[in-house]
Structure 1
C-alpha cells in the first residue's frame, strides 16, 4: 500500500476541486488517512454508478436526491436522509432518479481514487 499521507484537518468545500468520474457524476475527496476516506459524490438525474465491488467496507449517507440502489440481488429507492452499508466484495451500483448527493465513507482508504 502506497503512503498517501493524510488530508488537511480542515477542508472547505469551495476549496476542494471536483473530479468528473462518469456521465453526470463528479466527486470531491473531503478527508482521509490510511484507514478511512470521506467522499462527496454529486449525481445529475440519470447519472449512473455502475455495478462493481471492492474490498473496502462502505457506508453512504444520502444527503439529497433519489437513488435506485442495488446491493447484491436487492434494489431499493433511497432518498435524502437515508443511508446504506455495503460489505466488502458485495456487488453494488446506483442510478440517480432525482439529482442529489451521496456522502461515501470507505475503510480502508480507496487508493484507486488518488
Structure 2
C-alpha cells in the first residue's frame, strides 16, 4: 500500500474539492490518515450509489435527505439523523429519494479514493 500521508488538521468544506462520483453524486474527502477516512457525499434526488463491496469497515451518518439503503439482502429507508454500519465485504448500495448528505467513515483508509 502506498503511503498517502495525512490530511490537513483543519479542513473547510468550501476549500475542499468536490469529485463527481456518479450522476447526481459528489464526494469530498474531509480528513484521513493511514487508518481512517471521512468523506462527505452529497446526493441529488435520484442519485445512486451502486451495489458494491470492499474490504473496509464503514459507518455512515445520514445528515439529511432520504435514502433507500440496501445492505446484503435487507433494504430500509434511512433519513436525516439515522446511521448504519457496513461490515467488510458486504454488498451494499443506496438510492437517494430526497436530496441529502451522507458522512462516510472508513477503516482502513480507502486507497481507491486517491
TM-score normalised by structure 1 residue count: 1.00
How far apart, CA to CA, are the structure 2 residues paired with 1:102 and 1:61?
6
Equivalent residue for 1:58?
A: 58
Query: Residue 4 of structure 1: CA displacement?
Result: 0.1
Query: Residue 80 of structure 1: CA displacement?
Result: 0.1
Query: Residue 66 of structure 1: CA displacement?
Result: 0.1
Equivalent residue for 1:90?
A: 90
Query: Residue 16 of structure 1: CA displacement?
Result: 0.4
Equivalent residue for 2:14?
A: 14
5 Å-filtered alignment, 1:1-114, equals 1-114=1-114
Aligned length: 114
| Partner SS, residue 93 of structure 1 | strand
5+ residue gaps in structure 1? none
5+ residue gaps in structure 2? none
How far apart, CA to CA, are the structure 1 residues paired with 2:13 and 2:110?
20
Query: Residue 72 of structure 1: CA displacement?
Result: 0.1
**Deviation string, structure 1 residues 45-78 (Cα, Å, up to 9, x no partner):** 0000000000000000000000000000000000
Query: Residue 86 of structure 1: CA displacement?
Result: 0.0
| Partner SS, residue 14 of structure 2 | helix
RMSD: 0.2
